[in-house]
Structure 1
Amino acid sequence: MWLETNRLIIRSIQRGDEIIFSGMSQDGSLSQVGFDANCSEWINDWIEEALKLTNNDNPRENYIPCTVILKETEEVIGSVGSTYYEDVDKVGICYFIGTPFRKKGYMTEAINAYVQFFFKQYSESEIIATILDANTPSWKVAEKSGFNLIEKKMYKDIDDEKEELYRFYVIRGQEDK
């Protein structure tokens, strides 16, 4: 997969991206998306799984991560992709961006491009976002990207230790609007 926006390239994940993602996680800011400060211990297994899932190209299998690159410098700045929520039988969006690249509109740009691609590529009528209520920057990005809040409720995601307040968002394909 290869998408270009005004400022970004969004491409399929590849070997080497895991090293950059591991580096981004060292400040602790990616722990909510599963990349903790110790991810260098397991990131090689993660990249192998991510490559396999990307090759299978089935958003209902698990997840399909893509890499976000800043065109101007060719730096990897984050990730956007899809993830499957088995408990609600929905495909969701997942994303993260490195700390130095936040508050510049890059992730909104990446999400908008990915959502357009997603609806053209897959037979899905909607894509959801589940975001911790306390993660204000992330849900603001979702809202700027056109996701609509459908509910706030206590929820325990698969990797969560305890139930917490989440915001549930949805965006629908053109034919479903």
Structure 2
Amino acid sequence: MRIETQNVVIRTLEKKDAKRFYSIARESAVYRYMPDWADGRAHPKDYYGLIDQYQKQSDNTDISIGRSYAIALPNTDEMIGSIGVGLKEKLNEIELGYFMSEKHQRNGYTREAISALAEWCFEVSDVKYLILTINCANVPSNKLAEKCGFKLLEKRTPIGDNQFYMENDSYFYYRSYRK
């Protein structure tokens, strides 16, 4: 899969991305809210299995099947972040997820990637809306969700659901509807 925008490319992850994936997942701003991308992976090669899995699903248009893609710069093809889509099983809804290298945050790259992947999801499926679930403490990501046209519907505090990756027990629940 490959989606090109003005400033980024969303493309299938490749083994060459493992070193960048490894280093970005350990950056403090990424790890703080998404430790699951780094935990249990002590070396870049530990991402190979995950990359292989995502490569197999890359061109599948069933957006309920979880997969992630590289967000890359068009002129260098360097991975600068990741974006994915899939079924959030506990909610039975399709969720987008993303992270961006600290070096490339606040340049509009993530916003372009979210908008492009959301548009693709609506083109290839009949889903009525997509969701984002974002830690309440992650102020920049919450602002970004709204800039991308996602509407904040509510603050949620799950009962009996261990949100191990959440800094606190609550998250904001956003939706973006098909136009």
TM-score (norm 2): 0.85
Partner SS, residue 134 of structure 1: coil
* 1:27-106 to 2 correspondences below 5 Å: 27-31=27-31, 32-33=33-34, 34-36=36-38, 39-41=41-43, 42-61=46-65, 63-106=66-109
Instruction: State the partner residue of 1:22.
Output: 22
What's the secondary structure of 2:15's corresponding residue?
A: coil
Q: Which has the higher strand share?
A: 1
Q: Gapped runs of 5+ residues in structure 1?
A: none
Corresponding residue for residue 142 of structure 1: 145
In the alignment, which of 160, 164, 169 is matched to residue 164 of structure 1? Answer: 169
Residue 122, structure 1, aligned to residue 125, structure 2: yes
Q: 1:7 to 1:162 in 2, by over 3 A?
A: closer
Question: What is the distance in 2 between the residues matched to 1:21 and 1:68?
Answer: 11
Q: What amino acid is the match of 2:72?
A: I
Q: Taking structure 1 as the reference length, what is the TM-score of the superposition?
A: 0.86
Q: Cα distance, 1:54 vs. partner?
A: 2.6
Distance change >3 Å, CA 54–CA 74, structure 1 → 2 = closer
Tell me the distance in 2 between the aligned counterparts of 1:171 and 1:12. 24
Structure 2: distance between partners of 1:153 and 1:16 = 38
Q: Percent identity?
A: 26
Residue deviations 1:112-169 (CA, integer Å, cap 9, x gap): 1111111001221110000000011111111110000000011346654897110000
Specify which structure has the bigger relative contact order, considering alpha-carbon pairs within 8 angstroms and separated by 6 or more residues: 2
Unpaired runs of 5+ residues, structure 2, are none
Counterpart Cα distance in 2 of 1:4 and 1:107: 13
Give the aligned length: 173
Aligned-residue Cα RMSD (Å) equals: 2.2
